[in-house]
Structure 1
Amino acid sequence: METFQVVISPDIVDVLRHEHERIRQLCTDIREAGRDRKRRSLTALQHAVHLHQLGELTVAHPATRTSSANGDTIALTCQANGEQLERSLTELGRLGVGHPDFDARFEALSNALLDHAAHQERDEFPLLRRYVPRQRLHMMASAMHDIQTMALH
């Protein structure tokens, strides 16, 4: 008798949580790395944050804004914070890993990134899971993947 395995695709919240974990790991890598590896990890972090922000801006935040009475405020706060963090990360990249202030500035930015992720996981993600139909959450993950893929080309 043949058996079939059901594969459940991740929804948008799963994808965003996974990206947060990737960003957390890259922050750890940068803290622990020597100069060459630190430079590569910083580039990877900039890239990961940019794609994450793009996906949130185009897919997650719009759904959050219309999800509940306070969804608009939560989404706009997350969006503004995320955009500021991305700008700060770009500025840090311009400063360079060899700059004497790099480590201190990175530590502050890393903490802000982690706080932002925690805020989203606490405030935004539950709204998505509670008010957005499950099928749409899965379609949103697919849409986000498509948008991020197009951004790479």
Structure 2
Amino acid sequence: MTLTREDAVDILTRQHAQIRRGFYKAAVPGPTRRRAFERLMRLLAVHEAAEEAHVHPVARRALQAGRDLAARRREEEKQAKKLLIALWRTGPEGKGYLRQLNTVRKAVLEHAAREEREEFAALRRAVGAKRLRILGAEVKLTQAYAPTRPHRWVNNEAANKLAAPLLGPVDRLRDLARHTTRR
């Protein structure tokens, strides 16, 4: 079996950079704002689903202080998800959108920085390269079928693993329907 050369830390760190850029694109006024907003929300949803389902559980088991570290990241994600749901409901044309977008941006980017500094760096030291590549493949697989929008009760390993096969296709059908009605 050939594994991807990218490991989970590489994939998720690259996505953090895409998320940073996505926040700025979603703030730009004009006809591309809606599409940038939807891309950002989708990236955030699939990114968090993979972290919650696979990365945090590995950190919890493999790192010396993994239990506390994973619990802190999950709590940050839970709070960010509440903000994301409110932002999703407001949408890019809604009142207070830019203020909400900035609040979410700050929370998400602070969370991502802590992940990179605390969790990802520790995983690189504690987990072998092969296991990180397998974890990368799990991340990619999860992201391929994960929900494409935030769902408030889907915020841990079990909920993500159970909900993804159900909510992922439903969200993707909604996305397709919304996209085709805009043409």
Tell me which interval the TM-score lies in, with the shorter structure as reference length.
0.7 to 0.9
Corresponding residue number in structure 2 for 1:43: 38
Q: Which amino acid aligns with 1:17?
A: T
From 9, 19, 25, the counterpart of 1:13? 9
Identity %, equivalent residues: 27
Kindly name which structure, 1 or 2, has the bigger radius of gyration based on alpha carbons. Answer: 1
1:8-66, CA deviations, whole angstroms, 9 ceiling, x for partnerless residues?
Answer: 711110011011011111011122x2243222111111110110011101110011001
1:106-142, CA deviations, whole angstroms, 9 ceiling, x for partnerless residues?
Answer: 1121111111110101110011101111100000001
State TM-score, norm by structure 2. 0.74
Report the RMSD for the aligned CA atoms in angstroms. Answer: 1.7
Corresponding residue number in structure 2 for 1:114: 109
1:63-121, CA deviations, whole angstroms, 9 ceiling, x for partnerless residues?
Answer: 10012221111111112212321231121121122233111121121111111110101
Gaps of at least 5 residues in structure 2 are 147-167, 170-183
- Structure 1 segments, 4+ long, off by >4 Å, are none
Gaps of at least 5 residues in structure 1 are 1-6
From 20, 26, 34, the counterpart of 1:30? 26
* Matched position secondary structure for 2:112: helix
Equivalent pair of 1:49/1:86 in contact (CA under 8 Å)? no
